[in-house]
């Protein structure tokens, strides 16, 4: 298990007004709307989520870095848990022709509005019970998804990642190192249920038997 950062540059490229998140609209109401994972969360007003989750090519560099690091080649199988609209899988498929990609997400809206070329490879489902055979994928990834689970489901999801993946797995979750980052995280995040320090996250990885790679994003 190793710490590898593939996505912090993309995370830091987005500007965030933390105080506006809690002052301009009731945060509790925004959370209720965001957790429906429908239009408002993906493509509605920024106070409910992404504020328009559109394909803009930003995931290309991340996919290229992962392909290089994990030596991904034609014929390999990749699973994205919490795939959203399939943007990252789309980049993988372009970089490595002949790759077998699969994505799973709980948002029917995201799947319905995914990139057209990816729709045949995406399905609705939950991270805590993956509809795949053991040791089925050469690389399993989950970016900014697992922190949306409660603790008891988080352990289940980590065990499922271990079950369906072979050697290579990579997950990214939100975390905090200081009280300032903790406050920013609580101000900004709408769908999160797990608010942990890096050491606490690693404790969960250990008790779940997760042996893959990981990284964190911080709200600085």
- Beta-carbon contacts of 171 under 8 Å, excluding residues fewer than 6 positions away, are 141, 142, 143, 146, 161, 210, 212, 213, 214
Return d(Cα 112, Cα 128) in angstroms, integer.
22
Asked, for residue 1, whether it belongs to a domain, the answer is no
Return d(Cα 165, Cα 98) in angstroms, integer.
19
pLDDT bracket for residue 11 (50, 70, 90): confident
pLDDT score of 220? 92
Number of domains in the chain: 1
Asked, for residue 203, whether it belongs to a domain, the answer is no
pLDDT score of 181? 97
Cα dihedral 83/88/197/200 (nearest 10):
60
pLDDT score of 43? 98
Q: Tens digit of pLDDT for each residue in 23-33?
A: 999 999 999 99
Q: Tens digit of pLDDT for each residue in 141-172?
A: 999 999 999 999 999 999 999 999 999 999 99
pLDDT score of 25? 95
Q: Tens digit of pLDDT for each residue in 30-44?
A: 999 999 999 999 999
Asked, for residue 65, whether it belongs to a domain, the answer is yes
- CATH assignment at residue 159: 3.40.50.150
Q: Tens digit of pLDDT for each residue in 109-148?
A: 999 999 999 999 999 999 999 999 999 999 999 999 999 9
pLDDT score of 10? 83
Asked, for residue 159, whether it belongs to a domain, the answer is yes
Token pair for 151: 């603790």
Asked, for residue 104, whether it belongs to a domain, the answer is yes
pLDDT bracket for residue 14 (50, 70, 90): confident
Q: What are residue 217's DSSP bridge partners?
A: 174
Asked, for residue 204, whether it belongs to a domain, the answer is no
Domain that residue 128 falls in:
8-44+56-194+209-218
pLDDT bracket for residue 196 (50, 70, 90): very high
Total residue count of the chain as it appears in this document: 220
Percentage of the chain exceeding pLDDT 70: 100
- Confidence check: pLDDT of 93 > 90: yes
Q: HEC string of 4-27?
A: CCCCHHHHHCCCCCHHHHHHCCCH
pLDDT score of 185? 96
β-sheet with 137-143: strand ranges across: 122-124, 100-105, 77-81, 137-143, 165-175, 213-218
- Confidence check: pLDDT of 13 > 80: no
Asked, for residue 200, whether it belongs to a domain, the answer is no
- Confidence check: pLDDT of 176 > 80: yes
Asked, for residue 141, whether it belongs to a domain, the answer is yes
pTM of the model: 0.95
């Amino acid at each position: 298990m190793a710490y590898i950062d593939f996505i912090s540059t993309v995370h830091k490229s987005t500007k965030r007004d933390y105080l506006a998140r809690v002052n301009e609209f009731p945060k509790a109401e925004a959370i209720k709307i965001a957790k429906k994972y429908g239009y408002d969360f993906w493509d509605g007003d920024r106070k409910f989520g992404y504020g328009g989750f559109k394909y803009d090519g930003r995931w290309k560099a991340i996919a290229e870095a992962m392909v290089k690091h994990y030596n991904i080649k034609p014929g390999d199988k990749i699973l994205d848990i919490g795939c959203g609209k399939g943007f990252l899988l789309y980049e993988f498929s372009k970089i490595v022709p002949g790759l077998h990609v699969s994505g799973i997400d709980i948002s029917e809206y995201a799947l319905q509005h995914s990139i057209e070329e990816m729709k045949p490879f995406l399905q609705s489902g939950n991270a805590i019970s993956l509809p795949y055979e053991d040791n089925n994928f050469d690389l399993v990834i989950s970016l900014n998804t697992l922190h949306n689970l409660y603790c008891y489901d988080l352990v289940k999801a980590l065990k499922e990642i271990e079950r369906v993946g072979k050697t290579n797995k990579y997950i990214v979750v939100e975390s905090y190192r200081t009280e300032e980052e903790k406050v920013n995280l609580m101000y900004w995040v709408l769908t999160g249920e797990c608010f942990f320090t890096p050491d606490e996250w690693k404790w969960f990885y250990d008790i779940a038997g997760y042996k893959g790679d990981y990284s964190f994003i911080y709200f600085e």
